[in-house]
A and B are shown apart, each in its own frame.
Chain A
Amino acid sequence: MPERLSGILPSVLSVLLALAVCWGLIALTLAPDTAANAYLQMLWGGIGNWPSYLEGAAATVLTRPLGESGMKAALLTLTGLSVAVAFKVGLFNIGAQGQMILGALAAALVGAHLSLPAVLHVPAALLAAALAGAAWAGLAALLKLYRGVHEVISTIMLNWVAVSLVDNWLVIGPLRGVAEGGQSITGTAEIQATAALPRLLGDVSRLNLGFLLALFLAVAVWVWLQRTRSGFETRAVGLGAEAARTAGIPVARRTGLAMALAGALAGLAGAVLVLGTERRYPGTLGAPYGFDGIAIALIGNNHPLGAAVAALFFGVLRAGGTRMQLLGVHQTFPELIQGLALLFVAGRMVWLALLRRRTAATPAPANAAPPTEAPRA
């Protein structure tokens, strides 16, 4: 089986299996018809209600759902990329959520308190968010490199530090915004119009520039990893740190920079959320997109473009999930689908073994070593 196919197939099959299992669950608990209808509603809720548009409904039946999907997909892409980049250098970044919180706060502050023309204001806010996220992840990297603290432990703990620091103190304390009438509001002050990410499909749709930014970054990260010297060094460190060290690659610097990049990407997710939709740092950040990033990265096989595709898919599903409620199906069902897909994709080796058995009629490739530690042939 070609390497590329064996990277993609387990993910695709896992998602399909998750869809099938959830279909079965709805069919069993409600009715088979409901399952079909719910999936259809989820689809129209995600990609736009094309049937009614073709019957003459206004274009907003398309742009509004697409906006929701695109917004969610952008956030999932960025946090998914964050986790995937850390994976490439051999680190498991559980801290995308905390990095995103710091990024969101930085974007909200720069957006609200600096006065700049839009051309500069948006980049400034994005940059601040990226730096804040990078710094938060950089803490974990420094702890790892100089103190040997495992990044899983430190990033999990830094998530809680971020929640306590930002949600439980700063935004309800010193940084709490004041509305025009003088009354206190939840969260930080609203960002200035110059800092808002421009909307792409009109005011009804929340699709904004963040979506394009996320897609651009997915491609950029992929190009960096595959085509540049430093990307190659990063991958080499992730796949064989000792061999990389022997080859003269600065392992610590590559590890630190990759982790900082992971943090920057998660920080940008926070910025996209604040500058694109929330317009302020809300009382609490809400949906745990940072944790979703782990699922997105794994379903995307830790490939930057794979993560983007997974994010688009689950962005559509999760935006459409709201419409499942019309049929009495809980709106978090897409999250269940995503969770199951993650569970199934964790059995990647099982999928590959099953697929190998299917192709066993043809001679097995020489390099198809069994999962057991096999010595060289």
Chain B
Amino acid sequence: MSLADASLDIRDGELLAVVGENGAGKTSLMNVLYGLYQPDGGQLSLGGKPARFKSPRDAIARGIGMVHQHFMLVPTLTVAENVVLGREPTRRGLFDLERAVSEVAATCARFGFQLEPRARVDTLSVGSQQKVEIVKALHRGAQVLVLDEPTAVLTPQESDELAHVMRGLVAQGRTVVLISHKLREVLGVADRIAVMRRGRVVAEVRPAETTVEKLAALMVGEGHPALGMAASGRAREPSSGMGLETNTPPPGDMLAARPASRPSVDPTANTAGELLLEARGLQALADSGRPALRGVDLTVRAGEIVGIAGVDGNGQRELAEVLTGLRPLTSGEGTLLGGPLAGLTPARARERGVGHVPEDRLLRAVVKALTVEENVALGRHTRPPFARGTWIDFPGRRERTRDLLAAYDVRPPDPTAFLRSLSGGNQQKVVVARELDARPKLLVVVQPTRGLDIGAVAQVHAKLREAREQGAGVLLVSLDLEEVLKLSDRVYVFFEGRVTGHFTRPQYDERELGRRMLGAGTDHA
């Protein structure tokens, strides 16, 4: 049960933000609105009249549009084809591409989107793909537009642009519902904020009347350790629904009640660590066949977090794949944990002690149709306590999974649940738990907190720092510059497959970093 008696009013022509932790019911509520889920009770009314949406088709017909977190676009089709898909203009019974292009161009012009209707979607950046999704909804006449975690995948610049787009839509009389975890962003853009917790709307506030701290407190409930307040140790109230949540208090160290400010780590203390990774002149191709890495030099030592900053699509992803054996090098050499970087396979990388939190969770990190315990074993399934010789060690696997689920506060803490039944944040916790439990020497993490709520973000960050303090080297690739700067001891800036900047804490100059992210200082090449 993800919704328990949730009530929400959406007013015409406003920008309403819905915030809440993972599993608070934000997406479920919107799926009811969009006709994907049928409510077990309660009612929905639109324009004062009761409405019942049996499917998204009904919702679209009544002017509701939704932009999902995972885009629903056909990558090999053009922008125009994607936008008109499902209601294509035809001429003599055949698809009329020219009319589609001109119609889509008109819609783009009307709402101020700069998109090339003939561009293939797979050639577009993530930010542009999102715009295609928005245009698609608008093209179908959406009056109410629901955006689910739209900024989770965007660069800061793209997020600013999206905020601008959303305000523009509201100015044109559309209603925008924004689902988000990012409180600062929400405060800057929304007219009104609804806070959800455990399937209910617990508060509705105006940005002017609140702060990030107050919102966070509303979201997680008072005294949550993630807020850095004194852990109350009070038992969580049992959930009213399926009884999926335990009522035992979380273990004391679990959420690492660290202040959200920067850690008090002596930056020089880490430079003496053992050299785990030394790479020179790395080159590799992207999936498209174009060069993604064009000569990258970098090092990672034990006991440090090395951040990779950059705008999406500048080679960071490919670097992570090279280091985990998923992508072959075309040139360059390097030493990774005592072995050559060339010819690395995922299995060899794991043997040498590389942990990996991949960017694309559902594709790479987990198998949705396996159980939680099977996913926890994935990659380590040949070793104790997950196996004994040829055979799977069921009790060992179960016990270890239970421990990890408790330590990382995964809900529900059921090792036999199918992974697909967990919310995205809880799935990510399972991945992080699995990778850190293997005690990696070098941990490659890509976008580890994408789409996670405050509590989970704080927890993942704490765990990464914990890994560093235990002597692991961490390579952190993130599009969230704030996250990179907060955690990293050193930062490499990537631009078009090259390192355009190298900063060591505490010499972080965000302005200079930003310049490098946009290509300044390419003298390095």
Contact = CB atoms under 8 A, between A and B. Distances in A.
Interface string B119-133: 000000000000000
Interface string B31-65: 10000110010000000000000011000000000
A235 B387 CA distance: 16
Contacts of B325: 248
Interface string B346-379: 1111110000101000011111111000100111
B423 interface: yes
A369 B427 CA distance: 16
B28 interface: yes
Nearest to B412: A366
A229 to B, nearest CB: 5
Interface in B205-250: 241-242, 244
Interface in A337-377: 360, 363-367, 369-370, 372-377
Residue of A235, A246, A250, A374 with most chain B CB atoms under a 10 A cut-off: A246
Given A246-B324, A375-B68, A377-B23, A229 B346 contact: no
Interface stretch (A21-29, A174-182, A236-244): A236-244
Interface residues of B, number: 58
A375 B2 CA distance: 13
A240 B369 contact: yes
Contacts of B68: 375
Given A373-B72, A377-B423, A243 B392 contact: no
A244 B367 contact: yes
Nearest to B354: A248
B436 interface: no
A239 B370 contact: yes
A229 B391 contact: yes
Given A229-B392, A242-B363, A246-B326, A374 B346 contact: no
B370 A377 contact: no
A367 B421 contact: yes
Contacts of A249: 347, 379
Contacts of B72: 373
Nearest to A245: B346
A372 B56 CA distance: 10
B377 A232 contact: yes
Interface in A232-290: 232-233, 235-236, 239-240, 242-250
A374 B418 contact: no
B288 interface: no
Contact of A377 (B27, B367, B379, B390): B27
B155 interface: no
15 contacts: A227-B392, A239-B369, A240-B368, A243-B364, A245-B326, A246-B379, A248-B325, A248-B349, A249-B347, A365-B242, A366-B244, A370-B37, A372-B55, A375-B27, A376-B69
Interface of B: 1-2, 23, 25, 27-28, 31, 36-37, 40, 55-56, 68-70, 72, 148, 241-242, 244, 324-326, 345-351, 356, 358, 363-370, 374, 377-379, 381-382, 387, 390-392, 394, 417-418, 420-421, 423-424, 427
